Every structure is written in C-alpha cells, then in structure tokens.
A and B are shown apart, each in its own frame.
Chain A
Amino acid sequence: MNAPTTWRPRLADGTAPVLAVLAVLLVALAFAGPAYSEPTGYLALLKRAAPLMILAIGQYFVIVSGGFDLSVGSLVTAEVVIAARLIDGQESATIWVIPLLLALGVLVGLVNGLITTKLLVPSFIVTLGMLLVLDGAVFLWTGGAPRGALSPSFRVFGRGGIDLPVLGHLPWSVVILLVVLVAAAQFMRSGTGRTLVAVGDNQDAVRLAGGRVVRLKVLAFVLSGLLAALAAILLGGFAGVSAQVGEGLEFRAITAVVLGGVLLGGGRGSVVAAAAGALTLEALFSLLNLLGVSGALESAVQGVIIIAAVAYASLGANLRLGFRSRTATESSTRSTPPPHKENR
C-alpha cells in the first residue's frame, strides 16, 4: 500500500498555513499585551482554548471521515446541565457523575453514528435532529432552566492546576488537552486512523479493499461525542453552569477544523492542524480583545477568516494541482455539500 506516501505531502500542505498564522498571532499577542511577556500568559490562553481544541479534535474525526457533527454544542450544554442537576453541590456525587457524563457522550455519538451508517441518513440531518432532541430533552428534564450546582472537585479540572517548578502554575485542562492531542495524533498515525481518512476520501474504495467503513464511521462519531463530554467537563469547571454554555460551539469547532486546512467532505487534513486551528481562533479573539475590537465584530472576523481560509485552500490547491490530476482538483472544486458522499 502506498497510501502513506501520497498522504503525507497533502498533510503538510494543509498544516503549514495554519501554523504560520498561529505563530504570527502568538508573536502579535506578545506585543499587544503585557500579560503575554511570560509563559503564564500563553498557558492561560491554552487553558481558555482547551475545550474548543478538544471539541475540534473530536469534530476532526467526523469531518475527515466525510461527515458533520452539529450536535456537539447542545451536547456540551446538556452535559453541563445534567452534571449540575446530578451533583447538586455534593462532593460525593462527583466520582460517579464524571464517568456517567463520558458514557453519555459515547452514547450520543453511538446513536449519531448508527443512524448515519445503518439508516443512511446524512450526518448533517442526524446531528441536527440530535441537536433538537438534546436541547429539548435536557430542559424538559430540568424544567426550563439549569438547576443545582457543580461541586468544587468537579470544577478542579476546568479551573484548577498544579504548581510545577519551571512552568509555574500548570492548569489541569492543559494537561488533559496535551494527553488528548498526543493520543489523537498517535491514533491518526495508526492503521485505523489512516483508514479513517481514506473513508472520507473514497469509502467505496475502502470497502472494496476490505475496510470496515461502518465501524470506522461510528467510531468517529463516538470519539466526537466522548471528546464533547470531556470539553463539557472542562467548560463546566471553567465557566460554570449556564444554559448557553455550548451555544454556537458546533459551528466554532467546525470553523476551527476548517481553519486547520481539513477538507470538508473528508479525506484530507491532520488532527494537529485542526487543534492548531482552534488555538488560532482563540488567539485571534484574545488579540482582538486586547486591541479593543468590540465583541460584536468577533463573529464578523470569524466569518471573514473561514471564507478566506477555505478559499485559499481550494484555490491554492487548484493552482498547485492544475492540470496534473483531475480527480484531485475535482474534490476541491465541488460546490456540493459533503453529505453528498454519504448518499452515494
């Protein structure tokens, strides 16, 4: 199989621009704010960005295999609200609520994946339906508003940390993020990970080559659900309980993944770049904040950059590939939405 040899240069293609932009932003931050003259400033940035980066890693698995997961935002809200209701301020409940939350994330991902693969419903619709169901079900259960409170030991993951000699205060969320990132990168280098990318590129080819397409796609959704649950635990600790905690996170995570050069519709892109895309987004927001740009313009800036990033990626790919291989250009010039692939 020569898949890795053709895959690696593409990976580098997508990764380089986002890393360059990220580097520029990080340097700009150092000039813009005095907080960034020390490592603690950047650690705080990483701590803020950790939930989105984890969500982006989860979303990456789904997108690279040719799908969408629109349900992660409402899943995050649901997890936080459920945690608050179940824990209700009791320390003793924390120990069993956390595994329960992670299991719920897995369950939601499993349902998403099974409906997508077994009932052949486009993942856009499945996860949109799941979004509605989760939104409705959670507030049906709590009676319209979040109730209860999180325990201090639950919130430690989101806002606590350990003191280390050199780095100073190292937040737990950064540690968790690094573990997830390394695990995800290792997974994508494994055979399963590479096959997952191949599913996004051409699932018929993978099926004919003996790959278990259904199992891989379900796995992608399960990972996305699990990581959304993890992000919810961090966000709950960091930001506390609210009914809006996950609002718009699905689109933000997709933005981050796309910013990382991952092709919507699957088959191209690296997980590290997706996480870097999320960090870039957060760094950009921090920079805009420091420069005194109003919060309202944040979304406008987000809109401009995702269009620019994708336009750069597809036009650039066209110029590079040019006349060389038709199939490669075809995948980037298609204006049809990715659900296309699932239907065929």
Chain B
Amino acid sequence: MSVVQQKSEVARGAGRGGARRFSLTPTPTVTVYLALAVLLVVGSVLVGIQGGVLLDQGGILNILTRSTVLGLVAVGQTIVIINGSLDLSVAYLVGLCSLVAAETMAGSDGMMVPGVLLALGVAAVVGLVNGLVVTVLKVNAFIATLGVALILRGYLEENYTGPAGSVPRAFQHLGFDRVGPVPIGVLLMLAIAGAAWWYLRRTRGGYHMYAVGGDIDVARLSGVRTGRTIVTAHVLCAVAAGLAGVFLAGRLGSGAPYVGTDAGYDLESIAAVVLGGTALAGGRGGVVGTIGGVLILSTLDTIFDDLAVDPFFKDVVRGVVLIVAVALYARRQLSRRSG
C-alpha cells in the first residue's frame, strides 16, 4: 500500500544521500568486522575495568579456539544458505562423525587416515541424501534436513549412551598442537574457509550457487544444472560438519554422540551465517562475513566468561544481537534495492 511506497521513497532518499556523503558504502561484510572491532574495544575496556585483560595471548587463543568448530560448521552452512537452502542436520552429523572417526581409529595409529576418510565419507553420504531429498523428492530443505536430523538422532539414541571409541595420542595433536602461536585447528578452519571462499568466488560452480540462490528459475533457464548445484552444496556442507566432528574427536579423545547438539550447532551456525550478512533467502553473502559472525559470537562468549556473567544472560544477548543485526541488514538492503 501507499505507506510502504512512501517508506521506500524515504529509504531511497537516505540511501542515495548516504552513498554520496560517504565514499565507503559499508557492505555487510565490512559492517560485521567493524562490529567485531567495536566489540573487541568495548570488551577490552569492560574486562580492563574488572582488572583483567581480554586480548592477551591466552584471550586471543581462547577466542580462536572457540571459533574453530563453529567456524567449520558455519562455513559449510554458508554454502547451502547461499543456494537458498539450509541444513538442520549438521548438529547430529558432527556427533555421528566424531563417533565414526573415534571408533574406526580405536586407539591405533595406523587407522588414523582410514578413520578420517570414513568419517568424511559418512558425512558426504548424509549430505548427498539431504541434497537428493531436496532436489529429487522436492521436499522443502527445512523439512528434508529436519527429517534427516531426526533419523540421525534416532540412530544415535538407539546405539550410544555416552562417549565411545578412542583416538590415538598422535591424533590428539590435531586438537591441541600449535604452529607458532596459532592452534592447528584454527589453521584448518581458516584453510577450509579459504577454500570455500575460492570455490564460491572464483569458480564456475561457485557462481552457479549464487545464481541458484538468487533465483532458481532464472538459473535453470540460463542453463545452470540447479539440482546438481544444490546437491553439491549439501555434500560440501556435510563434509565441513564431518570435519568439525573429526576435529572434536581429536580434541575430546573419543567420539561423543551429543557434542554437536549440546552446542546447538544447527541453529547456532545458521545464526553465525546470518550475522555475517548472508541473506537467509540465498544468493547474497559469503564466507568472509560468516567468519566475522563466528568471531563475534566467540568474542561475546569470551568477554562474558571473563566478566563472569551468568551463562543464561549470554543467550539473551545472542538472541538480541542476532535480531538487531539482521534488522540492520534488512534495512540497508531495502534502501539499496530501491536506490
């Protein structure tokens, strides 16, 4: 109605004026890193008032270590969300893959490579199932991956009551060793993020993903194999989650069925992706923003821990941050589209 039109007129005016006045129009990616910087400064001050230091070596390590697993899952989640899909099965998949890796290794050094490969293979199969259910059976991605998540949950609850399997000491190095000051896990996460960035921004397959997420019908009419693209995205997402599970097995020393769900990696990873400026509807966003979103979440956690804030307060703040961030992006998007 006319109210909406008026509103977009106003927004258009603001958008144009804004673009002229500032030479740098902040994209969501820039915004998220600016927000991270502000958060780090404010956090340092708050922690400093209480007599602590936020950004000493231990603090930075803490933030990075917290970001590792969520980062791996969220990078995968970014790929499916760019396709206009989403994956709710990652949390159970993380637990399943940690079990597969730990049980295959069973403490022997020789089984390390087969364990990792088998876990990633299982993840790829689950991703393939997700993708095929979405594309061949034409099931909405929300329902398809929720269904697969419930099936995985049934399997885990039926077969496991607690941690199982064990990884050899050599493999635990993956979880705890550092190269210089940086933990191996963080390097792994950044390498995966870098690979995902390269794939999405520099290859034909990556462009197809943006096209499919932007408008699937237009993509199909332009000759993109939409089904194949979506299946690929789901497989990549699942493998990233599988890698997170393998890393957790190395960190915990055994496989844990509920390690993924206890941390709520399904909804949390979606939150990180959206916080990083990727549109939930698909077609816009990227891995760089997601890493920023993950860093914001883990920095918030670290600050609250340093301030000894009630853990339940964290959830409240997370919820508010998520809604506010997306509201800001939605506002900006509106002004840019009409301008």
Contacts and interface: CB of A to CB of B under 8 A. Distances in A.
Interface of A: 68, 70, 115, 119-122, 124-126, 128-140, 144, 207, 210, 251, 254-255, 258, 264-265, 294-304, 306-307, 310-311, 314-315, 318, 330, 332-340, 342-344
A120 B331 contact: yes
Most-contacted residue by chain B among A207, A210, A302 (CB, 10 A): A302
A301 B157 CA distance: 13
Nearest to A259: B143
A128 B270 contact: yes
A-B pairs with lowest CB-CB distance, top 7: A300-B154, A136-B315, A303-B150, A132-B319, A296-B157, A133-B319, A336-B84
Interface stretch (B21-29, B93-101, B173-181, B279-287): B279-287
Given A140-B310, A144-B312, A336-B216, A310 B140 contact: yes
Contacts of A121: 323, 326-327, 330
A329 B216 CA distance: 14
B12 to A, nearest CB: 15
B322 interface: yes
B314 A337 contact: no
B217 A337 contact: no
A154 B314 CA distance: 32
A221 to B, nearest CB: 14
A303 B152 CA distance: 9
B326 A132 contact: no
B312 A136 contact: yes
Contact of B147 (A126, A129, A306, A338): A306
A337 B139 contact: no
Contact of B281 (A251, A307, A333, A339): A339
B155 A334 contact: no
B281 A336 contact: yes
A167 B139 CA distance: 42
A335 B320 contact: no
B4 interface: yes
Contacts of B118: none
The interface residues of chain A, by DSSP majority, are classed as: helix
Nearest to A336: B84
B141 A304 contact: no
A334 B216 contact: yes
A337 to B, nearest CB: 5
B331 A119 contact: yes
A335 B154 contact: no
A125 B323 contact: yes
Given A335-B230, A340-B84, A130 B319 contact: yes
Contact of A311 (B139, B150, B155): B139
A124 B280 contact: yes
Interface string B106-148: 0000000000000000000000000001110111111110111
B316 interface: yes
A335 B141 contact: yes
Given A136-B313, A294-B158, A334-B216, 15 more contacts: A115-B327, A120-B327, A134-B319, A136-B312, A295-B157, A297-B158, A307-B143, A311-B138, A314-B139, A315-B138, A336-B213, A337-B84, A337-B142, A337-B281, A340-B84
Contacts of B60: none
Contacts of A122: 280-281, 326
A264 B323 contact: no
A106 to B, nearest CB: 19
A310 B319 CA distance: 30
Given A128-B271, A132-B319, A136-B314, A303 B148 contact: yes
Contact of B312 (A125, A139, A298): A139
Nearest to A318: B138
B151 interface: yes
B318 interface: yes
A70 B86 CA distance: 15
B139 A307 contact: yes
Given A121-B326, A300-B153, A303-B151, A258 B280 contact: no
Contacts of A130: 319, 323
Contacts of A342: 281
Given A136-B316, A336-B282, A307 B137 contact: yes
Given A140-B316, A298-B154, A306 B143 contact: yes
B236 interface: no
A304 B151 contact: yes
Contact of B138 (A133, A136, A296, A333): A333
A318 B139 CA distance: 12
A296 B161 CA distance: 11
A144 B230 CA distance: 42
A77 to B, nearest CB: 12
Contacts of B318: 129, 132, 136
Contacts of B330: 119-121, 343
A205 B262 CA distance: 43
A125 B86 contact: no
Given A136-B314, A136-B315, A207 B85 contact: no
A339 B282 CA distance: 10
Contacts of B133: 307, 311
A139 B313 CA distance: 9
A335 B146 contact: no
B296 to A, nearest CB: 14
